[in-house]
């Protein structure tokens, strides 16, 4: 990536990470980490077993990652629109797709960083019940990263399509991802979270169940998340090229 794009990425990342809103939402993953500490302190090893899937699948991948990605992904362009700095960002000689990629990458990295306490905590919990270290750590990290990438890409796109991106994204997370996608197996094929939870099964192998996972394999789920990411980032680039700012 060129210097211009890396500068754009660095400037965007600093802007996203040091926002008050980001610091406020950083409490959410910290809360998950706190819950893990409590679980480790008060339950025996067999008792923790089901907590691994609940905390990793339902809480981390199913709630914390989408909420943090929503706030940071929408803010990647939404705040620039509100602050009237989007014309400045677009008003450069650099190709506009680079701006879209850099902003998505910044939102993605920021989301992964903000979710890191919860990710590490979930991995520690998995290791504590004697699950294979490599699979647990790799699985939790991969699930968080890929799910965050897809959610961020979608929310960055939403922020370029509507000025009420936060509201639209929240409705999507709450109604679709959390509620409707859990009603029928067929709907899970249209849920980013269900693919993320399937990837998270890498971290909880064997007979540990995860609710509302996609029926596809882990590899297919990872590919689906990657495809969603690429398509959404590409659409953001097209939107950036054509939209009025």
Partner 1 sequence: MSANAGSSVVQLVGVSKWFGDTVALSDVSVDVGPGVTGLLGHNGAGKSTALQLLAGATRPSQGTVRVLGTDPHRDPQVHRGLGVVADGEGTWAHASARSQVAFLARQRGVRDPERAAAAALDRVGLTAAADRRVGGYSKGMRQRVKLAQALVHDPQVLLLDEPLNGLDPAQRRADVDLVTALGAEGRTVLVSSHVLAEVERMADRVLVVVNGRLVAEGEPAGIRDLLVDRPRTVRLEGVRVSELAGALLAQGLVDSVRRSPDGPDGRSRGVVVEAPRAGALAEAIPAVARATGTTLHRLEPVGEDLESTFAHLVRAARGAGR
Task: Please identify, using beta-carbon distances, which residue of 42 and 84 lies nearer to partner 1.
Answer: 84
Q: Which of 232, 16, 230 minimizes the C-alpha distance to 106?
A: 16
d(CA 112, CA 145): 6
Quick check: 193 and 212 in contact, CB under 8 A?
Answer: yes
Contacting range for partner 1; rule: CB under 8 A; set: 12-20, 35-43, 110-118, 217-225? 12-20
Does residue 24 bind partner 1 (CB under 8 A)? no
Rounded least distance, CB 241 to partner 1, Å? 8
Task: Please identify, using beta-carbon distances, which residue of 21 and 230 lies nearer to partner 1.
Answer: 21
Q: List the structure tokens of 100.
A: 């879209």
Exactly one of 41, 42, 44, 91 binds partner 1 (CB under 8 A); which one? 91
Chain centroid, CA 196 distance in Å: 9
Does residue 3 bind partner 1 (CB under 8 A)? yes
Does residue 7 bind partner 1 (CB under 8 A)? yes
Q: Which of 66, 19, 8, 58 minimizes the C-alpha distance to 35?
A: 58
Footprint on residues 175-194 left by partner 1 (CB under 8 A): none
- x/- binding map, residues 42-81, to partner 1, per CB under 8 A? ----------------------------------------
d(CA 225, CA 190): 11
Q: Which of 24, 108, 118, 28 minimizes the C-alpha distance to 72?
A: 108
Q: What residues make contact with partner 1 under the rule CB under 8 A?
A: 3-4, 7-8, 11, 14-15, 18-19, 83-85, 87-96, 244-245
């Amino acid at each position: 990536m060129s210097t211009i794009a890396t500068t754009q990425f660095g400037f965007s990342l600093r802007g996203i990470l040091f926002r008050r809103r980001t610091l406020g939402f950083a409490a959410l993953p910290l809360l998950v980490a706190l819950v893990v500490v409590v679980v480790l302190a008060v339950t025996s090893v067999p008792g923790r077993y089901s907590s691994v899937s609940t905390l990793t699948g339902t809480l981390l991948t199913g709630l914390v990652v989408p909420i943090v990605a929503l706030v940071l992904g929408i803010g990647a362009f939404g705040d620039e629109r509100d602050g009237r700095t989007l014309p400045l960002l677009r008003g450069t000689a650099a190709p506009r797709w680079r701006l879209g990629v850099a902003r998505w990458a910044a939102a993605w990295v920021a989301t992964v960083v903000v979710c890191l306490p919860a990710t590490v905590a979930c991995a520690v919990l998995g290791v504590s019940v004697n699950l294979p270290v490599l699979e647990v750590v790799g699985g939790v990290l991969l699930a968080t990263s890929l799910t965050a990438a897809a959610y961020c890409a979608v929310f960055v796109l939403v922020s370029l399509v509507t000025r009420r991106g936060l509201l639209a994204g929240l409705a999507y997370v709450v109604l679709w991802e959390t509620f409707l996608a859990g009603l029928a197996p067929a709907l899970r094929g249209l849920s980013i979270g269900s693919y993320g939870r399937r990837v998270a099964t890498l971290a909880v192998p064997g007979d540990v169940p995860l609710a509302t996972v996609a029926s596809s394999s882990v590899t297919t789920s990872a590919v689906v998340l990657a495809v969603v990411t690429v398509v959404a980032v590409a659409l953001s680039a097209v939107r950036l090229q054509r939209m009025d700012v």
